[in-house]
Amino acid sequence: MRKRIVAGNWKMNKTLQEGIELAKEVNNRVKALAPQHTQVIVGTPFIHLAEVNKLADAIAVSAQNCATEASGAYTGEVSAAMIASAGCRYVILGHSERRSYYGETDEILVKKVARALENGLDIIFCVGEVLADREAGKHFDIVKSQLENGLFHLDAASFARIVVAYEPVWAIGTGKTATSTQAEEMHAFIRQTIAGRYGKEAATATTILYGGSCNAKNADELFSQPDVDGGLIGGASLKADDFLAIINARENH
Ligand code: PEP
C-alpha cells in the first residue's frame, strides 16, 4: 500500500519558541496515537528545523524551500545540504506561494529538485491551477505541464522519492475547498499522467496529497476518495487540535 501522509506547512508563522511548543505537542500526541498507516510531517520555517528535529521522534520534519545552488556566495539562501544536516527528511518545493510571490519557474524548480535529491531529501512537490485556469477549463493542462516540466526528467528511482501535492491555488488559505469530486478527478488524472511516464506500478505507488483549506471538518470526506492519499495542510496545521483531527481522519479511513 502506498504511503499516506498528513503534512503541515507552517509557512512564515510561529516564533522559534512557539514552534517548538507546537511541534512538541504534535509529536507527543502523534506518539500517543501511534498511527499505523499515516506518516505525519511538519514543514517548519528554516530557523526551527534543527530544534524541531531534535525533539521529533514520532513525526518527520520538512523544510518549505531550498536553494537552487549547492553552496557559495548566495546571501540569504539555505542549501539542501544544510536542511539535511539539520535532520530533515523532506522539503516542500513548488508551493504556489513560491511560484507566484518569488517567481519560481519550472527551470528553477528543476534545479531545486536536483539539489534536494542529491542531498537525500524526499520532495513534496506542489502543483495546482489558479482560478482563471480552472474557469477556462485549462486545469488539467496546467497541472500536466507542471508535472512534465518540473519532474518528468527524473529517472524512475528518483521519481519514487517524490510526493505530489495537488493544491488548487484558489483553495489555498481561502476557506474554499475543492469538492471531494474535484479533488478525486484531479488526483486520478495526476496518477494517470504519472502512469503514462513511469508506468502503472510507479503511479500506483505514488503518494498524492490534497492541499487547499483542508480542515478538521472536511478532511474525512476528502480522504474518503481513492486517489487522495493525505493532505498538505496550511492554516489548520498551526493548531494542534485541528492538525490532530486531520491526522485522525486519515488514520481512520
Ligand atoms: C498550503 O499552503 O499548502 C495550504 C494548503 O494552505 P491552507 O491549508 O491554509 O489552504
Separation of CA 59 and ligand 1 centre (Å):
19
Q: How far apart are CA 221 and CA 234, in angstroms?
A: 18
Of 93, 131, 214, 222, the one to substitute when testing ligand 1's pocket (max ligand atoms within 8 A of C-beta) is 214
Distances (CA, A) of 123 to 24, 70, 113, 232: 23, 16, 7, 12
Helix, strand or coil, per DSSP, at residue 234:
coil
Separation of CA 180 and ligand 1 centre (Å):
16
pLDDT digits (tens, 9 = 90+) for 189-233: 999 999 999 999 999 999 999 999 999 999 999 999 999 999 999
Q: How far apart are CA 132 and CA 204, in angstroms?
A: 30
User: Phi and psi for 136 in degrees, rounded to 5?
Assistant: -90, 5
Q: What is the pTM of this model?
A: 0.98
CATH number, domain of 85, equals: 3.20.20.70
Place of cell 486531520: 246
Q: How many CB atoms lie within 10 A of CB 152?
A: 14
pLDDT digits (tens, 9 = 90+) for 37-58: 999 999 999 999 999 999 999 9
Q: How far apart are CA 78 and CA 48, in angstroms?
A: 13
Range of the domain at 132: 4-251
Indicate the number of domains in the chain. Answer: 1
- pLDDT recorded at residue 9: 98
